């Protein structure tokens, strides 16, 4: 009888260990609204020229769904998990910086622009009445005024991203 009990106990222990051994590791969280996402990216233009990258630097960290990055890229990240990579193409009208708006220009007195900014193509930062920063580009320099272009520098451009998800923290989980 003791032998039967010992065999039964051994079989139960083996069955339990087999159950634990077959339990899959938890899958990492996928990107969803409210997730805190760590992202590595390279942004290129249509000609393949690198416009921006954070490879080898700190990751871009943002909360998905909070409009902290352009919507066309944000939409394509949904469902991705840490370690996954993807190529994303974002058209100007489909979640990029929009088309170039010809009327988005303003003439300002020349003395309102810093001397080092008095060159066509120079990018400056303007502040709205509420203090919001906005990139502007010097489009034309006249005798007493300067024409500023308020279109985003990437307006009208198709953007090509190579992205890699480095980490995803599910909504509502404490920061690590």
| Full pLDDT tens readout for the chain, 176 residues | 555 544 544 445 555 555 555 566 677 899 999 999 999 999 999 999 999 999 999 999 999 999 999 999 999 999 999 999 999 999 999 999 999 999 999 999 999 999 999 999 999 998 888 888 888 999 999 999 999 999 999 999 999 999 999 999 998 776 65
The 10 Å CB-count burial string (b at 16+, else e) for 105-141 is eeeeeeeebeeeeeeeebeeeeeeeeeeeeebbbbee
| 7 domain residue, yes or no | no
pLDDT at 8: 46
Contact 64, 32 (CB under 8 A): yes
Q: Which two tokens stand for residue 133?
A: 């920063």
Q: Which two tokens stand for residue 39?
A: 């992202």
Contact 110, 147 (CB under 8 A): no
| 124 domain residue, yes or no | yes
E strands in the chain = 36-44, 50-53, 60-63, 85-90, 105-109, 123-127, 133-141, 145-149, 159-169
| 139 domain residue, yes or no | yes
| 49 domain residue, yes or no | no
Determine the distance from the C-alpha atom of residue 87 to the mean position of all C-alpha atoms in its chain, rounded to a whole number. Answer: 13
Total count of domains within the chain: 1
| 5 domain residue, yes or no | no
| Domain span holding position 113 | 105-149
**Domain CATH for 132:** 2.40.10.330
| 116 domain residue, yes or no | yes
| 115 domain residue, yes or no | yes
| 90 domain residue, yes or no | no
The whole-model pTM stands at 0.74
pLDDT at 127: 84
């Amino acid at each position: 009888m003791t032998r039967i009990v010992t065999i039964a106990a051994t079989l139960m222990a083996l069955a339990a260990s087999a159950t634990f051994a077959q339990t899959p590791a938890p899958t990492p969280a996928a990107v969803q609204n409210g997730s805190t996402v760590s992202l590595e990216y390279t942004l290129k233009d249509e000609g393949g020229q690198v416009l921006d990258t954070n490879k080898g630097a700190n990751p871009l960290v943002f909360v998905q769904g909070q409009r902290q990055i352009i919507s066309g890229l944000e939409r394509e990240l949904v469902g991705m998990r840490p370690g996954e990579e993807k190529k994303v193409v974002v058209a100007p009208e489909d979640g990029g910086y929009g088309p170039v708006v010809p009327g988005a220009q303003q003439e300002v007195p020349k003395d309102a622009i810093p001397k080092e900014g008095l060159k066509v193509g120079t990018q400056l930062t303007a502040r709205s009445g509420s203090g919001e920063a906005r990139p502007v580009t010097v489009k034309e320099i006249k005798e007493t005024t300067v024409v500023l272009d308020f279109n985003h520098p990437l307006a009208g451009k198709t953007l090509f991203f190579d992205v890699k998800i480095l980490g995803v923290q599910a909504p509502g989980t404490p920061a690590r």
